[in-house]
């Protein structure tokens, strides 16, 4: 007799969650406790033409204790904004190691963790940068 527990195999909200967490643990040495209450904003500053728009929007946010900005690649634009964003936790992936993992990164990516589960995610397309910033300010 085979018993299947459907409640036990809860489907994840973000289909790339496992690889994203593996990336954070292997590349940035994060621990399980870092997924208690954090908002990750992953921005490919090297190959996304939207980098400046996203960085400008983030630089206008004066506070967000739980925002972790992950920059991917290198860019002169990033160097101009870096000091304006130092009130956030910043993790740099200058060699683009994120691309070795299946994370769903294309456009900027916003992932909100609560109690080690993703409760909200957004692929931040250009017209929705303001929506992402509003969410970061009021994630409830």
CA angle 38, 124, 131 (to 5 degrees): 80
CA distance 93 to 72: 5
pLDDT exceeds cutoff 90 at 136: yes
Which residue, among 22, 33, 20, 29, has the nearest Cα to 115 in the 3D structure?
Answer: 33
| Average pLDDT rounded to a whole number, residues 2-26 | 76
| Average pLDDT rounded to a whole number, residues 84-107 | 94
Encode pLDDT of 51-69 as tens digits.
999 999 999 997 777 899 9
pLDDT exceeds cutoff 90 at 44: yes
CATH architecture of the domain formed by 36-137:
3-Layer(aba) Sandwich (3.40)
| Average pLDDT rounded to a whole number, residues 87-113 | 95
pLDDT exceeds cutoff 90 at 7: no
Q: What rounded mean pLDDT belongs to the chain?
A: 89
Reported as a pLDDT band with limits 50, 70 and 90, residue 3 is very low
């Amino acid at each position: 007799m085979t018993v299947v527990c459907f409640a036990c195999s809860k489907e994840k909200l973000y289909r790339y969650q496992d690889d994203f967490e593996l990336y954070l643990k292997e590349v940035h040495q994060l621990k399980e406790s870092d997924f208690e209450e954090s908002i990750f904003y992953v921005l490919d500053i090297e190959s996304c033409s939207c980098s400046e728009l996203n960085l400008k929007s983030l630089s206008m946010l004066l506070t967000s204790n739980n925002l972790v900005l992950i920059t991917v690649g290198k860019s002169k634009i990033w160097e101009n904004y870096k000091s304006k964003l130092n009130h956030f936790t910043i993790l740099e992936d200058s060699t683009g190691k994120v691309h070795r993992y299946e994370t769903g990164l294309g456009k900027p990516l916003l992932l909100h963790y609560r109690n080690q589960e993703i409760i909200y995610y957004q692929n931040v397309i250009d017209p929705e940068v303001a929506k992402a910033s509003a969410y970061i300010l009021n994630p409830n």
